[in-house]
Amino acid sequence: MSADIGGTFLQYGALGGIALLALFAVRVLYNRADEDRAYHRQRADRLEDELRALNSAMREQYIKVIGPATEAIAEAIKALDAARRETR
């Protein structure tokens, strides 16, 4: 079929040849753009998975730290209250 199309374009001489080359160029550019799109989609999916894993790890670390930090703040408030009472 492509030979038929090429023959049809070549019947028009140089103009047909140029049109045939232009169609070929468009097809090549489209294929490149499609490959780039697929590559970037895979890259974005991979990076999203990495971000989810990182967020999960950070959440786990925060949970481990929030308890002791809350206790430390409570102790600091108690110490400040005790110091205020002594100065009065």
pLDDT tens by residue, 48-60 = 999 999 999 999 8
17 and 7 Cβ atoms separated by less than 8 Å:
no
Find out whether 34 and 41 touch, Cβ atoms under 8 Å.
no
Number of domains within the chain: 1
- How much is the pLDDT for 5? 66
Which domain, by its residues, includes 59? Answer: 2-87
Residue 11: DSSP 8-state = T
> Tokens standing for 55?
């967020």
Q: Which H helix or E strand runs over 12? A: none
User: What does the alpha-carbon distance between residue 86 and residue 88 come to, in Å, rounded to a whole number?
Assistant: 6
Q: Which one-letter amino acid corresponds to residue 54? A: L
- For the cut 60, the answer to whether the pLDDT of residue 1 exceeds it is no
User: Is the full-model pTM beyond 0.85?
Assistant: no
